[in-house]
Amino acid sequence: MSEAEREIEQGIATLEAIKVHIDNLQKQIATIELSIQEHERAIETMENYSKMTDEEILVPIGAGVFISARIKDKRALITIGNSLYTELPPEKISEKLKKRKEDLEKLKEKLTQDLYKLQENYALLSARVEENYRKYLQEKGNITGTPTK
């Protein structure tokens, strides 16, 4: 195998690895976007819950089923990791949710920047591999460089 062939194969392998990394970053960004939306809904719900007094609400329990509940004692739990929860006032939970959402948005921004850099590198490397391949074919005599009629 010639040096040119090795270089072309190595370029193609690198392109494939970059493409896998690009796909993974896109999936991570999509997952983070869903989490941001979930946090936005939770923040809105907590803020509305904080304003409620002795009111009846419907609480979803899953499978399209809701049960009614009356708000008397405002209590809320928030996860602090690995199936651990702590009870906090709704206002504090809203603050924590806003901070988590902000952290997710920063992470999404960083991953998006990484994605753009990878896409740029992919485009540059792809152009280089194509150019190397074209030169390789010309050297092998497969392309004459003059148009055929």
pLDDT of residue 25: 98
Res 55: pLDDT? 87
**pLDDT recorded at residue 142:** 59
- Taking the C-alpha atoms of residue 45 and residue 90, their distance in angstroms, rounded to an integer, is 10
Q: What is the pLDDT, as a whole number, of residue 51?
A: 87
Q: For position 146, what pLDDT does the model report? A: 54
Full set of structural domains in the chain with CATH: 3-51+91-140 (1.10.287)
From first to last of the 149 residues of the chain, give the pLDDT tens digit: 788 899 999 999 999 999 999 999 999 999 999 999 999 999 999 998 888 888 898 989 999 999 999 888 888 999 998 889 999 998 999 999 999 999 999 999 999 999 999 999 999 999 999 999 999 988 887 555 555 54
pLDDT attached to residue 68: 94
| pLDDT value of position 54 | 83
pTM of the shown model: 0.79
